Amino acid sequence: VTRIVCPPTATVIADLAANRRMAEQAIRRAAGAGADIVLLPELATSGYVFTGPAEARSVAVGIEHPLFQEWSVAAGKATVVGGFCELGDDGRLYNSAAVVDRTGVRVVYRKTHLWGLEKLIFTPGSRPPPIVETASGRVGLLICYDLEFPEVTRDLAVRGADLIVAPVNWPLVERPAGERPPETVIAMAAARTNRIGIAIADRSGTERGQVWTGGSAIIDECGWVVADQQGDPEAAVEADLDLRRARRKELGEHNHVLADRRPELYRRVTQA
Amino acid sequence: VTRIVCPPTATVIADLAANRRMAEQAIRRAAGAGADIVLLPELATSGYVFTGPAEARSVAVGIEHPLFQEWSVAAGKATVVGGFCELGDDGRLYNSAAVVDRTGVRVVYRKTHLWGLEKLIFTPGSRPPPIVETASGRVGLLICYDLEFPEVTRDLAVRGADLIVAPVNWPLVERPAGERPPETVIAMAAARTNRIGIAIADRSGTERGQVWTGGSAIIDECGWVVADQQGDPEAAVEADLDLRRARRKELGEHNHVLADRRPELYRRVTQA
């Protein structure tokens, strides 16, 4: 089984040094406690509620930045996934996430579906969410609002991901009493319809008036939440998932979540 | 607003006469009480747990069968949607659903994603789920397992449906205490990610040992359940939905559930 941990984080807006310390400690602690995968939120190095592009730029980093070496060392045998504010070689800002292990940065993904005012700060990525071979299996990576496109999660399943990991910053939205965050419901459905586990690391607390959902969660390949944060900023959300189960797409004797598709009937879904 | 009603039904396996009476009465009562849309389950004319193709054939009907005239008369000003066991002009059996109003049969849809032993009885449909212009708006129609393909619901939204209606027969499956049926979770996510209401008419009780979920539900375009059956076989599930809301796909100022898609990044989803 694979132990997935979303440690508690306390990101400080636009304070790269504080966030470096925070992330390094969180990774070291989780990896030391036996995590195979340590998952940090979206924009964990920078915070989210920027005053504008200039402030985002002031804390943006390239993938050569030493903070990734810190993650790599702290990771030990674990694989670390976390969001960061990227300054690209092209001088543009991206809302990115990196997969890092003891060998260094394995992949960087630039968020392809931007939310709200992100559109005024970041350039959307031009490459689909990647899948990284790790010691635990094939890990598919997306960021926050990407998750709300069922095409994205389906695509990762079709391409053979064993697990989907999602650094997020979920602004708290209204929901009926007793309901889970709507984004969690979407993730549960994506997990079940694709027979793949999904791990989500969310923000907690408040940043410049923006209240976060505290929605970190680990969902199994049947779509059930096996661990979740329920808004508690101190909670370390962790669970063991058997990722091999994601390779069995059969539903009983006669059905298969991927082979049962009828792509010829819904081509419009991917027409521009 | 549009009043949607999923009346209680008590289908008898392989008893066409009993099911005709039951459906006619249920439609008349719901329409008389002000329903705009009356939704019956999958295979409402025939039951589901056939001994085999011969028994299914014994209760299969073509669209010229007088039962649809009964539905049409009972409907009054309402639109009726219900599942039936279809004997096609080609001599094949289809798991179909009809949309019927006072003018007669508006459309027949043949289920395109077959579940379990249905594959041994029915031929899968070759046309995508239809959208029917009704007095209430554009109603998209799918059947049961179709709903578990996010491509299908997305496609209906892209094509401009204002509401999705789903006759279903959900076999009861295990779920953790306190959870909704997994199919409901999938429908909630489909509603929210597409900003479209979804109405589901399910079976109740037991048929030849098969326990049904009793999962009739009406879900709004934000993905919240506004009425549901919770397994009660006597419950008439009904709610008013403002279908015009499904035409607003914006999420705040900067986002739009359809325009934000990046089809060029997930073409594999609809490649065979």
Question: Which are the contacts of A48, defined by CB distance < 8 A and separation ≥ 6?
Answer: A11, A13, A42, A169, A203, A207, A210
Residue B85 known to be catalytic: no
**Virtual CA dihedral for B174, B177, B179, B182, nearest 10 degrees?**
-10
Give me the residue label for tokens 């025939």. B46
pLDDT at A257 over 80: yes
Task: Work out the average pLDDT over B168-179.
Answer: 98
The distance of B52 to chain A (nearest Cα, Å) reads 16
Known catalytic residues of A?
Answer: 42, 111, 144
Rounded distance, CA B80 to CA B108, Å?
12
Query: Residue B116 CA to chain centroid, in angstroms?
Result: 18
Among candidates A152, A185, A253 on the partner chain, residue whose Cβ is nearest the Cβ of B266: A152
Point out the residue among A188, A255, A268 whose CB comes nearest to the CB of B155.
A268
Give the mean pLDDT of B98-126: 98
Q: Is B144 a catalytic residue?
A: yes
| pLDDT at position B106 | 98
HEC assignment per residue over B162-207? CEEEEECCCECCCCCCCCCCHHHHHHHHHHHHHCCEEEEECCCCEE
Inform me whether the pLDDT recorded for A108 exceeds 70: yes
Tell me, what's the pLDDT at A272? 63
How much is the average pLDDT of B239-267?
Answer: 97
Q: Which residues in A lie closer than 8 A to residue B143 (C-beta atoms)?
A: none
CB contact under 8 A, B185 and A185: yes
When scoring B221, B266, B267, B271 by the number of chain A Cβ atoms within 10 A, the one with the most, hence best to mutate, is: B266
pLDDT at position A270 over 90: no
Question: Quick one: B269 exposed, middle or buried, by C-beta within 10 A (0-12, 13-18, 19+)?
Answer: buried
Which range (A172-176, A268-272, B27-31) has the least confidence? A268-272
Is B100 in a helix, a strand, or coil?
strand
Q: CB A262 to CB B112 under 8 A?
A: yes
Between chain A and chain B, the number of residue pairs with CB atoms below 8 A apart is 148
Pick from B192, B252, B270: CB nearest A266: B270
CA distance A39 to A47: 16
Neighbours of A51 (CB within 10 A): 11
pLDDT at residue number B272: 63
| pLDDT exceeds cutoff 80 at B157 | yes
